Amino acid sequence: MKSSKNKRLINKRNPRRNRQIIGGAFLFAVVAIFLLFIFRFSYIVASGKIDDQNLTKKAEALYQDDSVLKANRGTIFDAMGNPIAEDSTSYSIYAVIDHRYTGSNDKKLYVTDKNKVATVLSQYLPMSKKDILKTLNPQNKKTFQVEFGTAGQGLSLAIKQEIENHNLRGVYFTETPARLYPNGTFASHQIGLAQQSTTSKAGTSTTALTGVMGIEKSYNKILSGTNGVKQVKKDSYGYQLPNTKVKQKAAKNGSDVYLTIDSRLQSYLETLLTKAQTKYDAKGFNAILMNPKTGQILAASQRPTFNPQTGASLGSFWRDTLTEDAYEPGSVMKVFTLASIIDAGKYPPNSYYTSGQVQVGGSTIHDWNTTGWGSIPYAQAFPRSSNVGFVHLEQILGEKEWLEYIKKFKFLQSTNSGLSGESSGSIQFKSASDQAITSFGQGINVTAMQMMQGYSAIANDGKEMKPQIIDKVVNPTTGKTTKYKPVTVGHPVKKSTTKQVLKDMQDVVYKNYGTGAVYKIPGYRIAAKTGTAQISTANGGGYLTGDNNYIFSVVGMAPAKNPQYVLYITMKQPQNMTESPEKILSEIFNPMMKRALEYNQGKTTKTDQATMPKISGEAVNDSVSTLTKAQLKPVQIGTGNTVVQQLPQAGEKVLSNQHVFVMTNGAMTMPDMTGWSKSDVLKFAEITGKSVKISGTGYVTKQDLAAKSLLDSTKEITVTLQP
């Protein structure tokens, strides 16, 4: 015990030995750590990586500045080289109000004079000074920046420059790539729409325009082009490093797409459809004008439609009804039934049948004139549009041969016209009654484009042409042109057959018992066929009832002897049917076909159209005078003295005596809407951004907000329409 105790005391009294032990341990630890660093460093040097991160690339990224060289989106042109859709730039305004936002030498980069900013902006934005000040003083005191809603978006370069001239501290703009549609409502669903989309790659976000419907979508890859890149070696201050080169891969701009659409005819068709839609408030219109010799679409549109420039009326209705909607065509289908039985050599024009009604497979089929016309020859079945007569003709032809002709005319398959989302259609052909009703356009679903393709065969000596809306694609860099030639898709009937069908189509217009006398055009011979198709109920268990619950239609070919044009128009469920369906459709068909025929002969025509002048940025009094001289009706919204927005946009085609909306600076005010159409009310809602509840059909007779009242705090306006 004593010896052990003495040993411990000796150790405690020997600090030198203790230091040696501790020093040795410390030296060992240092050497171990040093060796570990050497090993780690050697590994990094050898592999060039740390934590699976490539150090070489990290270093390059630190000193290398990569910038995207954006490709220009191709322009869409009409047949005469006028731009329909082209790249543009719009601007949005915002204001920084955070006092911590300063520059070098503590320069104030935030709004320092809110009263001045509000005063100036109220001259260029459709907002009152009071509302702008309210925006500049948000309840949340920590707000960094504020925006001005729709009033501060989509500003033109001219308005941006005007505001910048006032040198407002703290007021800034963002630049946004945009697509310019200078014609406004112009084959909108067919041309389509390109909108901003953002993609991320390697940590870099790129904003570009992407087609989301119509030709903009189906030809998006061709129109988009390919972005380039610019690489520059820079120091920590952002300057290019000496003895380094700029690496650049040029952008490849998108190709330009040229259409077959004739702007003169297209603009006129839009005018006529707008006029008819305003007057008769139909749930839908389709209209297509085609050159049957080539299949080229010269004009095409639909209702409902929208303005791609403003996005007004787009809503959730994205369908191109010319290609995506399959419907029962009604009696305009009799053109193909007649052509089929004539071509098969089984047509008995001089034989008689009893009109009125017929029993088929346990079902009774009636003529539109339920009492019929007694015993009449089959030659009258077509001009009288007798369903009973065509049931008998289908039975004479035979269901098997009739179905073969349906397929020869290329129904039940897409036309592949170049427009996206095209439907193939369908047919119900099992029972005898199913087969019978297809002879007059029920029980078979078609698209408007399929009908046009089939009609081309009748107007083109039996040679059926594929509908064509793209004329050519031109690469702006190389100049390479890809021409889209007319495509023949078949020869369903003989030339002699088409001559007989065209003769019978003239009987529709010129015989005293024909259903299409209203489609006569003085100086021109017209071949036509009318149609009235029932509309299936939502559950498909029957058809809607009521005088207006039909799809009314007309197809016309002119000149009848050798047609240069085919015009097909449908109208679905007019809500304000103050005229007969034939009369309503003739208000579109006759002037449209006449305009096309006159152009074909090189004639100039007087038009009731005008081109919307540019009035934005002008004095209100001067603008009102300009519009009045142009035979337009200005509607002033606001108490200011300068025009800050206009609708329609400058350059758009407008009707004489059409309402033009003039938005002034300062507070917005309510106009007197008495006598306005539904279309005018919707345009008012578009330019003001106000919610408008519309009750009834026809024209405005009542509004719940008095004229000249301020719109600033109004949430919803209710207007009542009556026929």
DSSP code string of 498-539: HHHHHHHHHHHHHSTT-S-GGG-BTTB--EEEEEEEE-B-TT
CB of 148 within 8 A of CB of 125? yes
What single-letter amino acid sits at 421?
A: G
Beta-carbon contacts of residue 68 (< 8 Å; ≥ 6 apart): 204, 206, 227, 228, 229
DSSP state of 669: B
Q: Is 331 a catalytic residue?
A: yes
Query: Could you tell me if 425 and 327 are in contact, meaning their C-beta atoms sit under 8 angstroms apart?
Result: no
| Catalytic member of 188, 301, 313, 331 | 331
697 burial type by CB count under 10 A (0-12 exposed, 13-18 middle, 19+ buried): middle
**Cβ(169)–Cβ(111) below 8 Å:** yes
What is the Cα–Cα distance from 369 to 364, expressed in whole angstroms? Answer: 14
Cis peptide before 648 (omega within 30 of 0): yes
CA distance 665 to 640: 5
CA distance 636 to 688: 11
- 3-state secondary structure (DSSP) of residue 722: strand
Residue 201 φ/ψ, nearest 5 degrees? -150, 125
Tokens describing residue 517: 């006398």
Q: Where are the beta strands (DSSP E) in 217-356?
A: 228-233, 247-249, 256-259, 282-291, 296-303, 352-354
Nearest to 572 by CA among 318, 328, 394, 288: 328
Active-site residues: which are they? Answer: 331
